[in-house]
Structure 1
Amino acid sequence: MARPSGSDAGVTGPRVREAAERLFAAHGYAAVSMRRIAAEVGIGAGALYHYTPDKQTLLFQSMRDHLQEVIAAWGKADPGGAPRVRLDAFARFHVRFHLDRPDAVFVAYMELRALEPENFAIIEALRRGYEAIPRAIVAAGAADGSMRVADVPLAANALIAMLTGVTTWYREGGRLGRAEVEALYAGMALGLVGGRALALP
């Protein structure tokens, strides 16, 4: 089926995905209809199916893209070196990356139950891949004595939960700026695993 006259898939397709993510974050996946997504983009409900087969695909793409992007971005930001240095960098990176994408974060963490089984399996594999990053850092720190934890997987999960939680309260123009929040969370991350905060800005 041909696209609507005058449409540009390279522009409208991303707009459809962005609108869906925004609406899912604001109202919940179950409450958002395809008609509402189409209205948000400014196209007819029937035309929406030129850009996506269904609502489930939009949810899956939002989660998949978010997780693939964060994994790839950390791959570029990882400074390597000592576990304390890497954990400090990871904490700052995670806070910074997620504050830039609050809608994607909310959808990725709150709408897992809405995924169909095959999509859930893919997203869970990506999530485990990202969660393995702080787990490996903490395991290395426990091995070299720079970190003290009773349970490495539990500590890594606690780190992820703490760092991601910043998106629920941070507001631009508030008492703390982003750089301050990143530094404070990095210090708390190191403290959580019994490590000393680095003397970095």
Structure 2
Amino acid sequence: MARIAGSSGPRTEEAIRRAGLSLITTHGYAAMSLRQLAAMVGIQQGSLYNYFRNKQEFLFDLIRSHMQDLHAALEQALLPEGSAAERLTRFVEFHVAYHIERSQEVFICYSELRSLEPENLTAVVAMRRDYERRLSDILEAGRESGEFRLADVRMATLAILAMLSGICNWYRPDGRLSKEAVSRTFTGMVLALAQGGADPAALPQPANLNRLAARRQ
């Protein structure tokens, strides 16, 4: 979020972000009011405009910043070389860990795409496709090398991402499975799919993930 001249500083900006994430996750973007947001942070509503010009800009910035962080973290996590299976394993481990640690941002990125104005939606969709492409490239390389047996890389990409990203809807830190256990299980499932032991059509599809997100609001 670009701070506008006259605002009170980075700590207030971070507090606004945290409060906004909490309110949108709990109530949804449409139901969240700027009055609620200001009250949660402990500032006057007019002070919010030192940080963003309107509610739509605030939502777009939250989602765009999440996508930028996701891309940067993935760049650091991926193996620059190695077998396709090794690179796919690293991708799954990263994706699961990130989506557990940043579950609010992930949830909003899926559930509130519908709330973005057309220009903002276009920008976010482009960033999502860039992320999908990183996984597609790994799967395609594995198919070309003979490590993976995939009839449709695009379908496999979408199915894998839908399955992995759904973790933000059900994972709880105090649940019966640790983050490491979930990561190991998902890694095994994804490798089985890529190596020909599973049908991509049997995995959760993006539309199902969106329905889960809608029910959580």
Determine the C-alpha separation between the residues in 2 that align with 1:189 and 1:107.
25
Please state how far the C-alpha of 1:44 moved relative to its aligned partner.
1.1
- The 3-state SS of whatever aligns with 1:30 is coil
Q: 1:173-192 maps to which residues of 2 (within 5 A)?
A: 173-192=174-193
Q: Which moved more, 1:168-177 or 1:93-102?
A: 168-177
Amino acid paired to 2:19: A
Give the match for residue 215 of structure 2: none
Determine the C-alpha separation between the residues in 2 that align with 1:140 and 1:43.
52
Please state how far the C-alpha of 1:2 moved relative to its aligned partner.
7.2
- Spell out structure 1 runs of 4+ moving beyond 6 A: none
- Are 1:54 and 2:48 an aligned pair? no
Give the match for residue 204 of structure 2: none
Contact 2:150 2:196 in 1 (8 A): no
Amino acid paired to 1:23: L
Determine the C-alpha separation between the residues in 2 that align with 1:124 and 1:116.
12
Cα RMSD of the aligned pairs, angstroms, is: 1.6
Contact 2:88 2:135 in 1 (8 A): yes
Give the match for residue 136 of structure 2: 135
1:21-69 CA-partner distances (Å, limit 9, x unpaired): 2211111100001111111111111111112111111111111111111
1:45-104 CA-partner distances (Å, limit 9, x unpaired): 111111211111111111111111111111111113111001011001000011001110
Please state how far the C-alpha of 1:175 moved relative to its aligned partner.
1.2
Determine the C-alpha separation between the residues in 2 that align with 1:182 and 1:100.
13
Q: 1:114-193 maps to which residues of 2 (within 5 A)?
A: 114-193=115-194
Unaligned runs of 5+ in 1: 197-201
Give the match for residue 68 of structure 1: 68
Give the match for residue 17 of structure 1: 17
- Aligned pair count reads 193
Contact 1:84 1:195 in 2 (8 A): no
Please state how far the C-alpha of 1:195 moved relative to its aligned partner.
5.8
Q: Which moved more, 1:180-189 or 1:14-23?
A: 14-23
Give the match for residue 199 of structure 1: none
Determine the C-alpha separation between the residues in 1 that align with 2:47 and 2:74.
37
- Identical residues among aligned pairs (%): 43
Determine the C-alpha separation between the residues in 2 that align with 1:133 and 1:140.
11
Amino acid paired to 1:37: L
Contact 1:21 1:59 in 2 (8 A): no
Contact 2:103 2:168 in 1 (8 A): yes
Determine the C-alpha separation between the residues in 2 that align with 1:114 and 1:183.
35
- Are 1:90 and 2:109 an aligned pair? no
Amino acid paired to 1:123: V
Give the match for residue 111 of structure 1: 112
Determine the C-alpha separation between the residues in 1 that align with 2:122 and 2:21.
20
Determine the C-alpha separation between the residues in 1 that align with 2:54 and 2:134.
33
Contact 2:25 2:108 in 1 (8 A): yes
- The 3-state SS of whatever aligns with 2:15 is helix
Give the match for residue 32 of structure 2: 32
Determine the C-alpha separation between the residues in 2 that align with 1:102 and 1:2.
31
Please state how far the C-alpha of 1:173 moved relative to its aligned partner.
2.2
